[in-house]
A and B are shown apart, each in its own frame.
Chain A
Amino acid sequence: MTSPGRPLKTGPNGRPVRPFVMPASFAGKLYVWHLLLMRRAVQLGVLLLFVGTVRWGWELAGRPVLTGNLSSSELFGLVPLADPFATLQIMMTGHLPLQELLLGAAIILVFYALLGGRTWCSWVCPINMVTDLSAWLRRRLNISDVFHLSRNIRYTVLALALVLSVLTGVAAFEWISPISMLHRELIYAIGLGWTAVLGIFLFDLFILRNGWCGHLCPLGAFYALLGRLAQVRVGFDTPSCTHCGECARLCPEPQVLNLKEAAAAGMIASGECSNCGRCISVCPEDTLQFRLRYLIDTPNPSETTEPRQRRAA
């Protein structure tokens, strides 16, 4: 595995540290990319359902497939869905929405509470494709940050969005959200919303790595808080990990890959993890795998020094 000239490093489990090697075969590459491709398929698929229903009148059994947009929508003309953060902001303005919206927000809230909070960010949010492109280019061009910003600032932005909704009487984030702007204009009519998206792209590319999604976005912060209840998590199989660090190199939220905490919990427990699965794809030891939280047997930290039998892939 390691080239003969290189000194052999070993991980804390005594195994040699192997780097991630992109397979040469197309099938092997496809396997590495399968989560990425699935994410793109879901992101574009959700967008397509909206566009198809609004612009081309897609129906199933005589019912419109998905009307509205990610702020609030209706599935098959029956099931209301709503952005719980937008709903919360509207309630902060002092307006009590109809039950339909509250029900829709509750459905989405439960859905992402089970599926992992920021799973929304990596699997549905249209801005993700933009910021992923920034991050990819940034790695290629090796651009350094202009300044440092705490990743916790997003929680301040979240609090501000709620406070400003009370003070100004409008849903503060919804009125400036580049996410909604992009999504709306893709579905309904193209306007100048793309300039906000370009701003995010440039900010992420040249100014701050993961600047928008990882530092500022209050919607991501909202889902990060919800993600603490998440059932779908990236499981962490402590004995197989060699601390090679491949996962943290690609992770858009590398602070969640605290291996000590991961070993103690048996998973990546932080709500800031967006279940994007990049770490899973590049982990050379298959230490990281999607797991259901209640199925994860939390190992006692004192026992984890003993290498466990590696799970079958």
Chain B
Amino acid sequence: MDKPAITRRDFFTRVGQGAALAATGGLIWSYLLRQQAQATPYAIRPPGALAEADFNASCIKCGQCVDACPYDTLKLATADAGIPIGTPYFIPRETPCYMCEDIPCVPVCPTGALDQALDDIDNSRMGLAVIDIENCLSWQGLRCEICFRECPLQGRAISIEHHPRRISKHAMFVPLVHSDACTGCGICEKACPTEKAAIRVLQADLVQGEIGDHYRLGWTIDSPITQDFKAATDAAASSAPATGLDYLNEGAP
């Protein structure tokens, strides 16, 4: 049977209709994808997760990392989790990452969305703990320091600074987070005794500033401008301090 003849006009109309259908469908579809991708900064990912864009591209949402986690820390995002559907994440306040030494969640990842080169859990960067100093008990002057004591990298990721205060108040002992060591495991957030955690893990990008290259911290670098200061400090250090005068007791018996 012959098909009914198609005029040139019909042909172009049909091509146009097909293209329009694909284009409108594609636009709505990509809008959905973009909407979901916007939520990614709020997901705390498993250890070794690639940077967000790469992670989103490569995760196949199979849940094998979730199966491997011995503490049931990891979950796959359900459709209403507010996180890209099906991707693994955890909520530190509920169950933090306990930083297993053998990192069982990473080798099972079939796509490489979790970096297979991660061999030391201390090098993982799931997020960065930040402290709300208005609600941190230590910053009110209480001796809390629970986050510091619970921190698996105690002294490196969280240290205690000692702030002396005026007489009649004892010194404050306040926790400080160091981004060069904090893995974002969230054990501090889980342990924080305040009603809502005063120390929280967020993706580092959300909380970390950047100084900018144009600021020159003269005391940290050796440059033609700073060499004088350096020489002076060297000179000061090498010369012995002047001996103090002991005149108060002068002439005493």
Interface residue ranges, A against B (CB under 8 Å): 53-54, 64, 67-69, 71-74, 80, 82-83, 86-87, 90, 93-95, 97-98, 100-101, 104, 153, 156-157, 159-160, 163-164, 167-172, 174-176, 180-181, 184-185, 187-193, 195-196
Residue pairs across A and B with Cβ atoms less than 8 A apart, 19 shown, are: A71-B61, A74-B108, A90-B57, A93-B58, A94-B57, A95-B58, A95-B112, A98-B111, A160-B26, A168-B30, A174-B61, A175-B32, A176-B33, A184-B63, A188-B75, A189-B78, A192-B78, A192-B79, A195-B79
Q: Beyond the given A54-B66, A69-B63, please list 15 additional residue pairs across the A-B interface where CB-CB is below 8 A.
A: A53-B67, A64-B67, A69-B62, A72-B60, A72-B111, A90-B58, A95-B58, A97-B60, A97-B111, A104-B110, A157-B25, A163-B26, A172-B30, A191-B79, A192-B80
Indicate if the CB atoms of B80 and A170 lie closer than 8 Å: no
Nearest chain B CB to A78 CB, angstrom units: 12
Indicate if the CB atoms of B110 and A101 lie closer than 8 Å: yes
Say if the beta carbon of B18 comes within 8 Å of chain A: yes
Interface residue ranges, B against A (CB under 8 Å): 18, 21-22, 25-26, 29-30, 32-34, 36-37, 53-54, 56-58, 60-64, 66-68, 75-81, 84-86, 108-112, 116
Indicate if the CB atoms of A172 and B86 lie closer than 8 Å: no
Nearest chain B CB to A124 CB, angstrom units: 15
Indicate if the CB atoms of A191 and B78 lie closer than 8 Å: yes
Q: A174 vs B86: C-alpha distance in the bound complex, in angstroms?
A: 9
Q: A159 vs B56: C-alpha distance in the bound complex, in angstroms?
A: 20
Q: A181 vs B76: C-alpha distance in the bound complex, in angstroms?
A: 10
Indicate if the CB atoms of B63 and A169 lie closer than 8 Å: no
Give the residues in chain B near A163, CB-CB below 8 Å.
26
Q: List the 3 closest pairs (A to B, CB-CB), nearest first.
A: A191-B78, A72-B62, A192-B80
Indicate if the CB atoms of B26 and A175 lie closer than 8 Å: no
Nearest chain B CB to A196 CB, angstrom units: 7
Indicate if the CB atoms of A100 and B60 lie closer than 8 Å: no
Q: A188 vs B85: C-alpha distance in the bound complex, in angstroms?
A: 13
Indicate if the CB atoms of B86 and A67 lie closer than 8 Å: no
Give the residues in chain A near B66, CB-CB below 8 Å.
54, 188
Indicate if the CB atoms of A164 and B76 lie closer than 8 Å: no
**Among B68, B86, B110, which residue has its beta carbon within 8 angstroms of that of A181?**
B86
**Among A97, A176, A196, which residue has its beta carbon within 8 angstroms of that of B29?**
A176
Indicate if the CB atoms of A184 and B61 lie closer than 8 Å: yes
Give the residues in chain B near A168, CB-CB below 8 Å.
30, 33-34, 37
Indicate if the CB atoms of A171 and B57 lie closer than 8 Å: yes
**Among A157, A181, A188, which residue has its beta carbon within 8 angstroms of that of B63?**
A188
Q: A181 vs B77: C-alpha distance in the bound complex, in angstroms?
A: 10
Give the residues in chain A near B26, CB-CB below 8 Å.
160, 163-164
Give the residues in chain B near A169, CB-CB below 8 Å.
53, 56-57
Give the residues in chain B near A189, CB-CB below 8 Å.
75-76, 78
Give the residues in chain B near A156, CB-CB below 8 Å.
18, 21-22, 25
Give the residues in chain A near B21, CB-CB below 8 Å.
153, 156
Indicate if the CB atoms of B63 and A175 lie closer than 8 Å: no
Indicate if the CB atoms of A98 and B22 lie closer than 8 Å: no
**Among A82, A167, A170, A175, which residue has its beta carbon within 8 angstroms of that of B110?**
A82
**Provided the pairs A54-B67, A98-B111, A156-B18 are in contact, do residues A93 and B32 lie with their beta carbons within 8 angstroms?**
no
Indicate if the CB atoms of B33 and A170 lie closer than 8 Å: yes
Indicate if the CB atoms of B33 and A180 lie closer than 8 Å: no
- B34 (CB) vs chain A CBs: closest residue: A168
Give the residues in chain A near B78, CB-CB below 8 Å.
184-185, 188-193
Indicate if the CB atoms of B63 and A170 lie closer than 8 Å: no
- A174 (CB) vs chain B CBs: closest residue: B61
Q: A96 vs B75: C-alpha distance in the bound complex, in angstroms?
A: 25
Nearest chain B CB to A24 CB, angstrom units: 43
Q: A71 vs B86: C-alpha distance in the bound complex, in angstroms?
A: 10
Indicate if the CB atoms of B108 and A101 lie closer than 8 Å: no
**Provided the pairs A160-B22, A190-B78 are in contact, do residues A82 and B33 lie with their beta carbons within 8 angstroms?**
no
Among the interface residues A95, A97, A157, A187, which one has the most CB atoms of the partner chain B within 10 A? Answer: A95
